[in-house]
Amino acid sequence: MLVALSGGPDSLALAAATAFEAPRAGLRAGAVVVDHGLQPDSAAVAERAAEQARALGLDPVRVVRVEVGLGGGPEAAARDARYAALDAAAADTGAVAILLGHTLDDQAETVLLGLARGSGATSLQGMAPVTGLHRRPLLGIRRATTRQACADAGLEPWDDPHNADPAFARVRLRSTVLPILEDELGPGVAEALARTAEQLREDAEALDGFAHEVAEDVTELEEAGVSLGVSALAANPPALRQRLVRHVVQSEFHVSLSRSQTLAICALVTDWHGQKALDLPGFSAERRGHRIHLISTQAGELTGRKPPHVH
């Protein structure tokens, strides 16, 4: 396994804990330090983190320099570059897991940001403990605990100046919004937000599972797409019906629908008054009789397909 190490208190505490526990579990653990090159001393910071990892006994330890693009804003671009570098390092070393130092505080911030942006239940679920190779073992640990762990172990973490820059929404939330909520509502706000994320994730997983099971029964393949039975869709509650539509579209056209696009397709079921076909990314949606037809608008036929089902 590999620890994603920035040198900050969260990832440094995780690196120390991993270095201690991995040998006792018969596992080999290393570290990857991603140098984003966004600050003049980034190379020195990365090398210092790598030295600390080696001193802890982690092996292999790699420093990877990445080029951060501009897509989606600086935070998103840096995150995309970082995850790509981590995944590449895992593939190169044969690592079975990448350990990330996200804490309970990070989870609470993610939930609040999703709530403020109206991003829906998916964002309010926060970060999953396990996503592919990525593991987040510190999601139940407060940030103050990781800093204390570093102090107890005699480790000197690096404090990223970007984490104090109010230009970033997450920093403003961390330094201003959450403390105000704690002052006004009492302690435990961060823990409550993290619990909310966990409960929403459980509910979403259950609904998604139901949608996958039902999808094959309501879907028929067509030459250039699929169709869904109106009565079968109408028989399901809105949350499940919308998930069915999103699942079928993702499986067939590899398109992630927005909420407004999903609701527009569902309106062909629940609010049918002869409206025209919907023009959506890569496909069209049209009601004809008692079926909703989702037809590809891309060149070439869709071949070798099976109805959407549980994978």
297 backbone dihedrals φ, ψ, rounded to 5°: -110, 10
Q: For residues 230 and 178, state if they share a domain.
A: no
| Distance between CA atoms of residues 116 and 277, nearest Å | 33
Question: Does residue 84 sit in the same domain as residue 230?
Answer: no
Residues 106 and 154 in one domain: yes
Q: Which amino acid is at 109?
A: E
How many domains are there within the chain? 2
- For residue 187, being part of any structural domain is answered with no
Q: Which domain holds residue 270?
A: 212-296
What's the pLDDT tens digit per position in 154-204? 999 999 888 888 888 889 999 999 999 999 999 999 999 999 999 989 988
Question: How much is the pLDDT for 311?
Answer: 41
Whether 309 shows a pLDDT value over 70: the answer reads no
Q: Are residues 24 and 146 in the same domain?
A: yes
Residues 6+ apart with CB under 8 A from 231: 290
169 lies in the same domain as 279: no
pTM of this structure: 0.80
Q: What is the pLDDT of residues 256-304, one digit of tens each?
A: 898 899 999 999 999 999 999 999 999 999 999 999 999 999 855 454 4
The pair of structure tokens assigned to 303 is 């071949």
Amino acid at 221: L
pLDDT digits (tens, 9 = 90+) for 198-251: 998 998 888 888 888 888 888 999 888 999 999 999 999 999 999 999 999 999
pLDDT tens for each residue of 126-156 = 999 999 999 999 999 999 999 999 999 999 9
Q: Of the candidates 182, 204, 220, which is a domain's last residue? A: 182
Distance of CA 140 to the CA centre of its chain: 17
